[in-house]
Amino acid sequence: MSGKLIMRDRCFQWGQQTYLMGVVNVTPDSFSDGGEFNNTTAALAQAQAMVAAGADIIDVGGQSTRPGAAQISLAEELDRVVSVLQELRPVISVPISVDTTRAAVARAAVAVGADLINDISGGTFDTAMLPTVASLNVPIVLMHIRGNPQTMQQQTDYQDLMGEINSFLAKQIAAAIVVGVDPDKIIIDPGIGFAKNYEQNLEIFRHLRLLAALNCPILVGASRKSFIGRIINQPEPKERVWGTAAACCAAIFNGADILRVHDVKEMHDVSLVADAIFRQQAQH
């Protein structure tokens, strides 16, 4: 992927380097750090540490999307997200993304300084999302999913995994463009762990390049996920840093532009070395 995107005076030059999106979950129940950053002071400290460690984007989420996670009320999600953004925005220099599937949250978040919307449903859960993003003129991450976090692990029966991910994303890209979203502001995500079983997650890494045909930057979120835990026999998500590093390397070598990660300092080193080996060669 070539081309560029400007957010908050920062220029993201696709294909030149790997960008890191640091995760700040302001939820009591996220799978790997739930309850740790769900007050504004802790979230701010976490975000500042991530920027210092090399995060290019901070991703704030008020609704857990782990398998089986219960949906919270709109009021609760708004309260969590807006209160944290009001603390973060004056002191965080990098673009801030908001992980939400609700148009009302997207609108409120952008009003208090969010730069990017990260929608795990690819704009399918809330029919107002794509028109809202178009009217706000902000970039959006469209992720592939089937079902929702309560039901997705029962929906892993694919005839052609990569073909179906590709066609879902192509359809959502087209739907976004039709309602006025700028094509240069669309980022895609294959949705590792979302309605994908163990083998399917690995297959996505092997065949990630097939998504390059969609001509959008590719975001991969593999950080600390259960497929890594299964490979290294590690039930504790925080102990999956080395496994995450290997997955991040694989993602970069297969065309990822952005990595969504919890361990920014470590993955910054991983991406610098992978970029030096792989992208410099690609550029020559």
Pick the CATH number of 18-278 from 3.30.70.3270, 3.20.20.20, 3.40.50.2300, 3.10.520.10: 3.20.20.20
- Catalytic site residue 225? yes
pLDDT in the model for residue 40: 82
- Catalytic site residue 240? no
Nearest Cα to Cα of residue 189 among 246, 116, 128: 116
**Between helices 241-253 and 198-206, what is the axis angle to 10°?**
40
Residues 6 or more apart whose Cβ sits within 8 Å of residue 82: 108, 109, 112
User: For the residues 114-130, what does the mean pLDDT come to?
Assistant: 98
pLDDT in the model for residue 29: 54
pLDDT in the model for residue 65: 77
Confidence tier at 31 by pLDDT (50, 70, 90) = very low
Q: What residue segments make up the domains of the chain, in order of their start?
A: 18-278
Nearest Cα to Cα of residue 26 among 90, 92, 91, 72: 72
CB atoms within 10 A of CB 77: 24
Q: Which of 10, 260, 265, 279 is catalytic?
A: 260
Mean pLDDT over the full length of the chain: 93
Q: Which of 146, 185, 225, 240 is catalytic?
A: 225
What would the two tokens of residue 249 be?
């390397």
pLDDT in the model for residue 78: 93
Q: Are strands 4-7 and 10-13 parallel, antiparallel or unpaired?
A: antiparallel
pLDDT in the model for residue 28: 64
What would the two tokens of residue 105 be?
């949250």
Are the C-beta atoms of residues 217 and 5 closer than 8 Å to each other?
Answer: yes
What would the two tokens of residue 180 be?
């006025």
Residues 6 or more apart whose Cβ sits within 8 Å of residue 210: 162, 166
The percentage of the chain sitting over the pLDDT mark of 70, rounded to a whole number, equals 94
User: For the residues 15-22, what does the mean pLDDT come to?
Assistant: 97
Residues 6 or more apart whose Cβ sits within 8 Å of residue 242: 232
Q: What backbone phi and psi angles, to 5 degrees, belong to 43?
A: -65, -40
- Catalogue the long-range contacts made by 100-104 (C-beta closer than 8 Å, 24 or more residues apart): 100/61, 100/62, 100/63, 101/63, 101/125, 101/126, 101/129, 102/74, 102/77, 102/126, 102/129, 103/128, 103/129, 103/131, 103/132, 103/133, 104/74, 104/78, 104/128
